[in-house]
Amino acid sequence: MSFGPPAGLTKIELALRRATALFFVFVFAKAFILGGETFSSTPARGLGSLWEDLAVALAFFLITLPASRSIAPPVLFGLLVGSTAIHVSITRLFGTPLTWSMMKATRGPLSDSIVHAIRLDSVFFTTAMLLLGWGLYALFLKAQLVRKRTVLIIVATSTIASALTWFARTQGDWSTENPLMALMRSTQSRVEPAFANRDWRASDLEIPETGLEQWRGAAAGRNIVMVSLESTGANYLKMFGGDLDLMPNLAALSHDGILFSRAYSVYPESIKGLFSVLLSRYPALDIPAERYEHFTAIAFPQCLRTAGYKTALFHSGRFAYLGMDAIIANRGFDLLEDAGNISGKLHSSFGVEEAATVRRILKWIDAPRGREKFCVFYLPIAGHHPYETPAPGPFPETTDLNRYRNALLYADSALGELLRGLQQRGLFEKTLFMIYGDHGEAFGQHANNFGHTFRLYEENVHVPLLIAAPGLFRQSIVSNRAASLLDLAPTLLDFLGREIAPSFQGTTLLDGRGRRVLFETDYGAGLAGLRDGNWKFIYDLDSKRAELFDLSHDPSEQKNLASAHVRLVGDYRKTLLAWLGAQKALVISNLEQKQQQPVITWKTASRRDGIDHKER
């Protein structure tokens, strides 16, 4: 098929025909998206962004007009059709378009996940959009039936329809916006920084106190083992109400500690979530993880080093993944090792097997440390998509959910090896364990909700949290207070009887106060939410859509009560918007102050992670 311009057409006619074909590519893309069986949008919302499609087509017309007879217009047309095809597949799968954050995530560490995620329907719709795009191009450019009058009528009709949708638009739906506009908008700020001094977690509800004050300082002098279970949602574990016992070692350890049944991640993604754990600080919307390298605040490993602990972090994955190296640098770890340092037998694009990391941890514990006490932070990768395990698990790997279950069992077996290793060394009852899920994992419990980063439903943010001290507790304690992973650092220091850093934004879970928790994500749509007693509220900054659930009667979040509680929704919305603005102002102010100070770069001989440290 030749895509060269036919003879007899003026430059304006050529440019107009190509722009009209592009406009209809965008229209068909909306039809493909809205035709998804589980897609949550509506045709009215889809049409509400028709004016954006016309605007992009008009821009294409103006850009290509001077070079109508060159190769540039068909090349640009092809690029736009290709990006639209990807947009359709991603939107049908996740309910969110391709964003800048998602583009940055498609690097080496995620290559295995990307290959595994390619589905038959994704291939079909991508191929269909490509064929349709070039078919429309050929139709409008070559067909003799498409006369100048026909094109002008189409353009006039499209312009009127687009103008009407622009004037009639109310609440948009980010997932049905024009692909190019959605990608551009994802690079823009959703929240304006605005300083505000409030206790964002203070609740107006009467939340019962939990009475855990007696354990303050009870673990003084113990070693510390922290484990961040990758992609581990509470709702899949039997100890939190799940159907299956996927983590028997974790369940056995819970008999020696406090199980928090209502724990939530701050951000449903590992890297920014790790920032909130290490520094007990909220990340800000629209600020990428890489910039937090320059964020100045004390991290809990620094507090522990001051208290005489030797500290190390071992990660089965790779620090280069999505800016993790920026988050962990200069946070008080004497040693940082990832898959590049750990000698494993099985390597993937994401990391090494957990058994190798556990062996490396135990070897470090056995080595002379120069200090009596140690704190080791273990970050496994088992549980992350594509849910790979060294050997087949008990569940048939016919679905992603079964693969995930096998991955959780494997992660738990590695945890069991670590626990047995400490028992063999006589360290088990001399150690305080803090084990939590860094975020959850979704398998379509809500429309287009897969993975973890795109939504704030329970399957995304509700995580297991266990604080165990073998020999200290006579029986398992279950706490129903709302807990945030922001609270881990202050709670750890409180257990040890150490002073809590004033820069921490979290609070100790041993103080007995009932609090609400807040969470956010900006990977796709910009979302913020909170849990306050039995209420769960989620607000979409892009579509302005609010969701309110009563988790006591609707734990799976299927019935949106926002329209029945207008005043409560308004209060929660104002709180979240003010909180987001205040956090952004705090982060930006911190980063600006840091940039004004001189930089000294150094490396320590004990480090083998290849990270350059910068102190200011």
What does the domain layout of the chain look like in residue ranges?
A: 11-185, 225-615
Element (H, E) at 436: strand 431-437
- The pLDDT value recorded for residue 616 is 28
Cβ neighbours of residue 427 closer than 8 Å, sequence gap 6 or more: 223, 365
- The pLDDT value recorded for residue 45 is 53
Mean pLDDT by 10 residues, the chain (616 residues): 61 85 86 61 55 85 88 91 84 71 58 54 78 84 59 61 51 63 76 91 82 93 97 96 95 95 96 96 92 94 95 93 89 94 73 93 87 92 88 92 96 98 96 98 89 92 98 90 96 96 96 90 90 96 92 97 97 97 95 60 33 34
d(CA 522, CA 580): 12
Mean pLDDT of the chain: 84
Task: Answer whether 500's CB lies under 8 Å from 508's CB.
Answer: yes
- The pLDDT value recorded for residue 314 is 97
d(CA 553, CA 317): 39
User: Which regions of 162-222 does DSSP assign to beta strands (E)?
Assistant: none
Cβ neighbours of residue 243 closer than 8 Å, sequence gap 6 or more: none
Tell me which residue has tokens 């939340």: 207
Task: Answer whether 25's CB lies under 8 Å from 136's CB.
Answer: yes
225-615 maps to CATH 1.10.10.10 = no
d(CA 558, CA 549): 8
Q: Residues in the chain, how many?
A: 616
Cβ neighbours of residue 503 closer than 8 Å, sequence gap 6 or more: 279, 280, 281, 297, 298
Task: Answer whether 328's CB lies under 8 Å from 274's CB.
Answer: yes
Helices (H), 48-147: 50-64, 72-94, 100-105, 111-117, 120-142
d(CA 210, CA 480): 8
d(CA 465, CA 438): 10
Q: Rounded to whole angstroms, what are the CA distances from 113 to 336, 388, 438?
A: 25, 10, 18
d(CA 127, CA 133): 10
Joined tokens for residue 317: 């994955």
- The pLDDT value recorded for residue 606 is 34
Task: Answer whether 415's CB lies under 8 Å from 395's CB.
Answer: no
Q: Coil, strand, or helix at residue 310?
A: strand
- The pLDDT value recorded for residue 465 is 98
Task: Answer whether 345's CB lies under 8 Å from 308's CB.
Answer: no
Cα angle at 385 between 381 and 391, to 5 degrees?
70
- The pLDDT value recorded for residue 590 is 94
Tell me which residue has tokens 């353009």: 155
Would you give the distance in Å from CA 255 to the centre of its chain? 31
Type of residue numbered 350: F
Q: Coil, strand, or helix at residue 491?
A: helix
Tell me which residue has tokens 């006589």: 426
Cβ neighbours of residue 103 closer than 8 Å, sequence gap 6 or more: none
Nearest to 313 by CA among 323, 294, 322, 300: 300
According to DSSP, residue 523 is labeled: S
User: Which regions of 485-612 does DSSP assign to beta strands (E)?
Assistant: 517-521, 527-532, 535-540, 546-550, 600-602
User: What are the tens digits of pLDDT across the range 118-130?
Assistant: 565 667 778 888 8
Q: Residue 501 phi/psi, 5° resolution?
A: -60, 135
HSE (CB half, 13 Å, CA atoms) of 382?
A: 26
